[in-house]
Structure 1
Amino acid sequence: MKYGICPISLAPLRLQAADASEMVSQVLYGELFKVIEHRKKWSRIRLHLDGYEGWIDNKQYQEIDSIDYHKLIDDNFAFAKDPISIVTHSDETLSTLTIGAQVSSAAYFQDSVANQQSIDEEDIAKSNLINTALLFLNAPYLWGGKSPLGVDCSGFTQLVYRLNDFHLKRDASEQATQGEVLSFIEESEPGDLAFFDNADGDITHVGIIMQDNHIIHAHGKVRIDRLDQSGIYNAQLNTHTHKLRVIKKMI
Structure 2
Amino acid sequence: MTRTAATSSSRRRVKGQNFLKASVNSSTTQAERAHAKPCDRFGLTGPSVVLDRRINAVRGDIADIALAGILFAPHYACPMARRCAVPSVPVRDRASEHGAQISELIFGESFDVLDISGGWAWGYSAADHYVGYVPEDALAPPLEGSWRVAVPEARSDAGETLFMGSRIDGIVDGDLLTSAAGAVALDDLAGPDAVFDPVSLAELFLGAPYLLGGRTVRGIDCSGLVQIAYGMAGIPLPRDSDLQAATGTPLAEGEARRRGDLAFFPGHVGMMIDGERMIHATAHSGNVTIEPLADVEARTTAAQVRRP
TM-score band by shorter chain is 0.7 to 0.9
Letter matched to residue 234 of structure 2 = D
Q: In structure 1, what is the Cα distance between the partners aligned to 2:229 and 2:276?
A: 19
The higher radius of gyration belongs to 2
Q: Counting strand residues as a fraction of each chain, which structure ranks higher?
A: 1
From 231, 236, 244, give the equivalent of 1:175: 244
What is the CA deviation profile of residues 184-243 of structure 1, one whole-angstrom value per residue up to 9, with x for unaligned ones? 57432200111001xxxxxx0000012141010011211111114xx715xxxxxx2335
**2:168 matches 1:103:** yes
* C-alpha spacing 1:28/1:113, structure 2 compared with 1 (3 Å): same
Please state how far the C-alpha of 1:107 moved relative to its aligned partner. 8.0
From 84, 88, 110, give the equivalent of 1:10: 88
* C-alpha spacing 1:84/1:33, structure 2 compared with 1 (3 Å): same
Q: Is the 8 A contact 2:271 2:280 kept in 1?
A: yes
Could you say which residue in structure 2 is the equivalent of 1:112? Answer: 183
Letter matched to residue 193 of structure 1 = L
From 289, 297, 303, give the equivalent of 1:223: 289
* C-alpha spacing 1:140/1:185, structure 2 compared with 1 (3 Å): farther
Q: In structure 2, what is the Cα distance between the partners aligned to 1:8 and 1:50?
A: 19
Q: How does 1:114-153 map to 2 (within 5 A)?
A: 114=185, 115-120=188-193, 123-124=195-196, 128-153=197-222
* C-alpha spacing 1:16/1:181, structure 2 compared with 1 (3 Å): same
Q: Calculate the aligned-residue CA RMSD, in Å.
A: 2.2
Q: In structure 2, what is the Cα distance between the partners aligned to 1:32 and 1:136?
A: 23
Q: Is the 8 A contact 1:30 1:104 kept in 2?
A: no
Report how many aligned residue pairs link the two structures: 212
Letter matched to residue 296 of structure 2 = I
Please state how far the C-alpha of 1:97 moved relative to its aligned partner. 1.1
Question: What is the identity percentage for the equivalent residue pairs of Structure 1 and Structure 2?
Answer: 29
Q: In structure 1, what is the Cα distance between the partners aligned to 2:159 and 2:232?
A: 24
Deviates further, 109-118 or 27-36: 109-118
* C-alpha spacing 1:150/1:184, structure 2 compared with 1 (3 Å): farther
Letter matched to residue 43 of structure 1 = A
* C-alpha spacing 1:44/1:153, structure 2 compared with 1 (3 Å): same
Q: Is the 8 A contact 2:109 2:166 kept in 1?
A: yes
Could you say which residue in structure 2 is the equivalent of 1:94? Answer: 159
Q: In structure 2, what is the Cα distance between the partners aligned to 1:196 and 1:50?
A: 21
**2:289 matches 1:211:** no
4+ aligned runs moved over 2 Å, structure 1: 103-115, 183-188, 240-243
Q: Is the 8 A contact 2:160 2:182 kept in 1?
A: no
Could you say which residue in structure 1 is the equivalent of 2:34? Answer: none
Could you say which residue in structure 2 is the equivalent of 1:24? Answer: 102
From 151, 155, 179, give the equivalent of 2:224: 155
TM-score, normalised via structure 2 length: 0.64
Structure scoring higher RCO (CA < 8 A, sep ≥ 6) equals 2
* C-alpha spacing 1:113/1:48, structure 2 compared with 1 (3 Å): farther
